[in-house]
Amino acid sequence: MFPKTKEILRKARTIWALDHASSLMDWDLEVNMPVEGVQERGIAASEIAVLRQKLLLDEELSSLIGNAEKEELNDYERGLIRVLKREIKIAKALPPELVQELARVTQEAKVIWREAKEKDDYNRFKPYLERIVELERKAADFLGYEKHPYDALLDLHEEGLNTDDVQGIFSSLEPGIKKVLSNIKGEFYGEHWLEKQKYEVDAMRSLNLELLRILGYPLGSRSRFDVSAHPFTIHMGIRDVRITTRYEGFDFKRSLFSTVHEFGHALYELQVDDALMATPLSKGVSLGVHESQSRFWENMIGRSMQFVEGFQNILREKLNFLKNVPAEEIYRYFNMVKPSLIRTEADEVTYNLHIILRFKIEFKMIDGSIKMDEVPEEWDNLMEELVGVRPKSYRDGVLQDIHWSMGDIGYFPTYTLGNVISAQIRRHMMKDIPNLHDKVKRMEFDEIKSYLKDKIHRWGSVYAVHPNRTFIYQYVELCRARLGSSRHGSEPPTGAVLPSGTPSPPTVLYSR
């Protein structure tokens, strides 16, 4: 290892400590904080954001990185330099006043959004959305872009991804999905009676906990499982990754699949190589790859017939109303397709249409070609055009997602990227793990988890995904090939170098 790497890691450790604190504050805000604490939390969060930016802009850190770049580095070191340089570039581009203002506005907007959604009052949220779009547009200008300001925002969420890439993926997906949708008829189309079935929250919680136990989620020792308005996963470190779910009281698959989904996100972070602990490489490489992990467990595993067969007895034991429901019927309930209003509850077929809608609106908002007054109607029109249904309330339309209130514009496309990548992973896994389906049926997940760890998770953010427009299957091969070809061998930074904690990128909340 290049000796200066130790110094770089040491400097980044202070930044990591701030991120650790910010994560805890964000988790608390979503799970525990009293409503009126929001103002002071906003002030604290924005002060931390500015402090973090100062640390990133430290001249000594930049010069250490500059010197390191001239050396022969191993893959881990190159990853370290790549991740930090990218962060410094972003921090340099954005003026502290803008960072502070964004942090302050979004902390407040998150709470206002929740209220506005509850009261079905778009006008309550509108000035915040307007301000956030304005600030994001400014941020895009400061960050720079080749073709469209939206490119800059996409890149913030998915390193190297641009508008043309997204349009390319969506323009082939949209007609394909519409064709599939028009072919789904009969018993898998429409409503299922279980969607109306009420459940006891205690019973559902117990079912979720049993599921997490079977999946091997290290509850208590390295993780927590709480309730929040919007299910999410948050990372304090490799040994502390927390998830949430929600309980609507009916249609139990919503709560169940939220839990499986967040488990997928958490597993990624929990399986990062221990040696990368508390370094900037200790997190998942991108939102798209992250979402591929949640979608893999939710859709590829959770919605399979084999999973239902393996899990059916527990389902019936925990939820009385399933007592006489055969596995085939539960499988049908899990896989019903029906155009609907809410993205997070959408089936696999229509889900990406919800994302295409958001992409189209975000593009126009950042472009300035739509006014905030017009957003709800644009939403409703697009929903009708793409999905074939029209919302009757803001709550079921434009106010349904938390993302814009958090300033996350350019985030949604990573969900579809995740869906596409998860399907690629399944295709490869089926070739590499014999009798994959039988193992799911026996609820044996160790081999699947090891596979994901070996191919994706353990690497953290060592290798970038998009610089050559590669997709995940190539990414996986890349990681494997590079392991053998590293010039200085591939020993990762170890605990010896990193006393008790070191650095990492900004607070991450993998919302659903």
**Closest separation between CB of residue 20 and Mg ion, Å?**
22
**Closest separation between CB of residue 261 and Mg ion, Å?**
6
Length reported for the chain = 512
| Alpha carbons 289 and 475: distance in angstroms, whole number | 10
User: 207-226 mask for Mg ion (x: CB under 5 A)?
Assistant: --------------------
Q: Look at residues 137, 189, 116, 179 and name the one whose alpha carbon lies nearest to residue 397.
A: 116
| Alpha carbons 49 and 353: distance in angstroms, whole number | 35
- Residue 307 near residue 437 (C-beta atoms within 8 A): no
Local structure of 273: helix, strand or coil: coil
Closer residue to Mg ion in complex, CB, 11/354: 354
Closer residue to Mg ion in complex, CB, 291/401: 291
Look up residue 105 and give its two tokens: 């506005």
From the list 101, 262, 298, 362, the catalytic residue is: 262
Instruction: Name residues contacting Mg ion, limited to 289-348 (CB under 5 A).
Output: 291, 294
Segment contacting Mg ion by CB under 5 A, of 166-174, 284-292, 320-328, 354-362: 284-292
Chain position whose Cβ is nearest to Mg ion: 294
Closer residue to Mg ion in complex, CB, 107/294: 294
**The pairing of beta strand 509-511 with beta strand 232-237:** antiparallel
Segment contacting Mg ion by CB under 5 A, of 64-72, 287-295, 325-333, 358-366: 287-295
468, 471, 476, 477 alpha-carbon torsion, rounded to 10°: -60
Closer residue to Mg ion in complex, CB, 107/511: 511
Segment contacting Mg ion by CB under 5 A, of 164-172, 222-230, 286-294, 403-411: 286-294
Instruction: Name residues contacting Mg ion, limited to 67-126 (CB under 5 A).
Output: none
> Is 491 a known active-site residue?
no
220-223 long-range contacts, CB within 8 A, separation 24+: 222/270, 223/266, 223/270
- Residue 79 near residue 503 (C-beta atoms within 8 A): no
**Closest separation between CB of residue 291 and Mg ion, Å?**
5
**Closest separation between CB of residue 403 and Mg ion, Å?**
11
**Closest separation between CB of residue 183 and Mg ion, Å?**
28
Local structure of 392: helix, strand or coil: coil
Closer residue to Mg ion in complex, CB, 159/262: 262
For Mg ion (CB under 5 A), the number of binding residues is: 3
Look up residue 509 and give its two tokens: 């909340």
Look up residue 130 and give its two tokens: 């307007």
| Alpha carbons 478 and 180: distance in angstroms, whole number | 33
| Alpha carbons 1 and 76: distance in angstroms, whole number | 9
CA terminus-to-terminus distance, the chain: 39
**Closest separation between CB of residue 363 and Mg ion, Å?**
22
Closer residue to Mg ion in complex, CB, 459/510: 510
Running DSSP on this structure, what letter comes out for residue 460? Answer: T
Binding site for Mg ion (CB under 5 A): 291, 294, 512
Residues annotated as catalytic are: 262
